[in-house]
Amino acid sequence: AASAVGKNEFPIPTGCYGLTVQEVEHYTDTLFRFRLARPADFRFRSGEFVMIGLPNAEKPVFRAYSVASPSWDEELEFYSIKVPNGPLTEHLQKIQPGDTVLMRKKSTGTLVNDALIPGKRLWMFSTGTGIAPFASLIRDPETYDKFDTVILTHGCRTVAELKYGEDLVAALRDDPLVGELVKDRLIHYTTVTREEFVRQGRITDLIESGKLFDDLGFPRMGPEDDRAMICGSMAMLKDTKALCLRHGLEEGANNKPAQFVVERAFVD
């Protein structure tokens, strides 16, 4: 049977776009990405998030989603978990090309280049779907204007959960526009916690032990040369933030750029 999801049974709420699904890709039982047509008047900064919902109720449920595509892209990409009985994702995971997804018109967020002062290295610390804002930022040339080297770290439970990031980085290296730019300046560092893999352990443990820095041939993080952005679960944010502070980095914000910024991963 055709899914009722996204069939426009309810009017588009004011302050929202009703956007057409262009593409859906499922990675695992719990992870998928989707792409939406981008309205001509929608502007955002790479790394920001928006509120996403479905036109399937009088009062739709909205959840925050980082835009995973860069600000110059003509489509909008999102990377999502599927939460069993999650008020939004149990329906959202069934969307198909041609369906309608709601997006509130205003974007916001702290994981933006404007919230950091320039530096030698930008560390992107992510776990799970927390990679999404970085998927946007690593495709934005501005990121490479501001930092010499960008290190995208991604920690997941299983190898299958790394695929989104791996596909993304592989495509980027072949990209005629940014491929040359990212060639020697983007490092993708993956780690897995619940399966055999070349690198194992939580990203926090790899920071704390110094293995992350040793593996890449960089000195320990410090306020002089290093900047960081953090996106993952609540516990991951708290622990990674504590490590940034312990390495002497100061937290920044849009109105007060500094050495690191934090954003929670947006899940049901």
> Which residues of the chain form contacts with ligand A2P (CB under 6 A)?
127-128, 155-157, 193-194, 202-204, 233, 235-236, 239
Work out how close the CB of 133 gets to ligand A2P at its nearest, in angstroms, rounded to a whole number.
Answer: 15
For residues 157 and 138, what is the distance between their CA atoms, to the nearest angstrom? 23
Work out how close the CB of 217 gets to ligand A2P at its nearest, in angstroms, rounded to a whole number.
Answer: 23
66 vs 204, beta carbon nearer ligand A2P: 204
Count other C-beta atoms under 10 Å from residue 195's C-beta: 12
30 vs 100, beta carbon nearer ligand A2P: 30
Work out how close the CB of 2 gets to ligand A2P at its nearest, in angstroms, rounded to a whole number.
Answer: 32
Work out how close the CB of 177 gets to ligand A2P at its nearest, in angstroms, rounded to a whole number.
Answer: 31
Work out how close the CB of 155 gets to ligand A2P at its nearest, in angstroms, rounded to a whole number.
Answer: 5
Work out how close the CB of 193 gets to ligand A2P at its nearest, in angstroms, rounded to a whole number.
Answer: 3
99 vs 239, beta carbon nearer ligand A2P: 239
152 vs 203, beta carbon nearer ligand A2P: 203
